Structure formats: structure tokens, C-alpha cells
């Protein structure tokens, strides 16, 4: 497919969605160009790793292409795409046994000493939330992002990840405590 998205980027978003829904790939590419930075940022936050984030973003966009015919416009396209991406990530996490074992390991908590963080170069400087979140262990980071950023409830997170609700709460408390240590410095 030749890249013909440039002029389409100026087009009405609803028209782009309608055309992409009918299989017009250049319109879908224009939607990709407009929304890819938000989708990728979400994947990067959740993955904490650019390679994994790219894989998820790729899968999310392919899933969006597949499911676009079912998008009726009840919610904004951005909201629909955001939810679709989060759901895809949760699906992938749920099927990953190695990740599940890492997620469950709440007992390995060690107080933050400041020696491994990104504020090492500037002792005494507060770490912003984005960087502090990136330093969290996987379980704590995932639950914090799903609960405090994405607005999922404890039980919903537990169901989607296939873990106990108590584990989700423990990971959330752990995340908040670790973030406070990192950001209060």
C-alpha cells in the first residue's frame, strides 16, 4: 500500500473512521498517525519496556482494524481505542504465566534507598510521577496504572488478571508507598 495518509490527516475524523471501517487502509493510517502517540504511551507505561510496548501497540492497532466495523460511535474514538488497548494488554498479561508469578511476588518489597533510581544523578531532586512509576516492580506498576490512572476497580482488575482481590489491594498499597518514597525525596 502506498502511503497516502498525508492529505487525509486533515480530513474529518468521522469521515476517516467511516472510510477505514469500510476497509480503506489510507484512512486507517491517518487515524494511526493522529492517535499512535497516545496508544504507544499507554503501552509503554503498562509494559515498562519499549520492545514489549511496541508489540502491544502493533497488536492494538491490528485489533482496532479488525473491530472498527463494530465501532458505532457511542463513545469518542479516543476512548474506544484506549479501552481496546487496555483490554488487549490485560488479555496478554492474563495468558502469561511467567508474568503472573512475578505479579504475585509481593513479599520482595525492599525500602527505596535511592541508589537505583533515575534521580541518582541529581540527589535530592524529586522524581516526577512518570519516571517513578517506571521504577516500580511489575505487579505494583500494573495495579497502580489500572486503578489510579485507568479507573478500574479492585475486583475488576483481579478478575481480568486472574488473581485474588487481596493481592490487587496489596500491590496498590505497595505501589503508593514506593511512589511516595521515590517522589518525596
Q: Which three cell numbers stand for residue 78?
A: 479516543
Tell whether residue 2 is a contact of another protein (CB under 8 A).
no
The answer to whether residue 103 forms part of the interface with another protein (CB under 8 A) is: no
CA-wise closest residue to 168 among 149, 148, 150, 144:
144
Q: Find out whether 18 and 69 touch, Cβ atoms under 8 Å.
A: no
User: How big is the chain, counted in residues?
Assistant: 185
Integer angstrom CA distances of residue 75 from 71, 79, 106, 174? 9, 6, 37, 34
Residue for grid cell 516500580? 136
- Minimum Å distance from CB 44 to another protein? 6
91 forms part of the interface with another protein (CB under 8 A): no
Q: Which three-class secondary structure state does DSSP give residue 139? A: helix
| Selected binder of another protein within 7, 37, 70, 123 (CB under 8 A) | 37
3-state secondary structure of 128: coil
Give least dist CB 161 to another protein, A: 17
Site string for another protein, 137-156 (x = CB under 8 A): -------xx--xxx------
Q: Note whether 172 binds another protein by CB under 8 A.
A: yes
- Interface contacts to another protein, rule CB under 8 A: 1, 23, 25, 28-29, 32-33, 36-41, 44-45, 50-52, 54-55, 57-59, 61-62, 65-66, 82, 95-96, 129-130, 133, 144-145, 148-150, 169, 172-173, 176, 179-180
Amino acid at each position: 500500500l502506498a502511503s497516502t495518509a498525508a492529505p487525509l490527516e486533515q480530513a474529518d475524523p468521522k469521515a476517516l473512521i467511516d472510510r477505514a471501517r469500510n476497509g480503506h487502509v489510507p484512512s486507517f493510517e491517518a487515524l494511526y498517525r493522529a492517535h499512535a502517540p497516545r496508544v504507544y504511551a499507554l503501552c509503554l507505561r503498562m509494559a515498562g519496556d519499549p520492545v514489549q510496548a511496541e508489540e502491544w501497540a502493533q497488536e492494538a492497532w491490528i485489533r482496532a482494524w479488525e473491530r472498527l466495523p463494530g465501532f458505532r460511535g457511542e463513545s469518542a474514538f479516543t476512548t474506544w481505542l484506549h479501552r481496546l488497548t487496555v483490554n488487549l494488554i490485560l488479555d496478554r498479561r492474563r495468558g502469561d504465566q511467567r508474568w503472573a508469578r512475578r505479579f504475585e511476588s509481593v513479599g520482595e518489597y525492599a525500602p527505596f534507598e535511592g541508589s537505583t533510581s533515575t534521580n541518582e544523578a541529581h540527589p535530592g531532586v524529586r522524581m516526577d510521577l512518570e519516571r517513578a512509576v517506571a521504577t516500580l516492580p511489575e505487579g505494583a506498576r500494573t495495579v497502580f496504572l489500572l486503578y489510579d490512572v485507568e479507573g478500574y476497580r479492585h475486583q475488576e482488575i483481579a478478575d481480568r488478571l486472574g488473581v485474588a482481590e487481596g493481592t490487587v489491594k496489596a500491590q496498590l498499597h505497595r505501589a503508593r508507598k514506593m511512589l511516595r518514597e521515590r517522589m518525596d525525596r
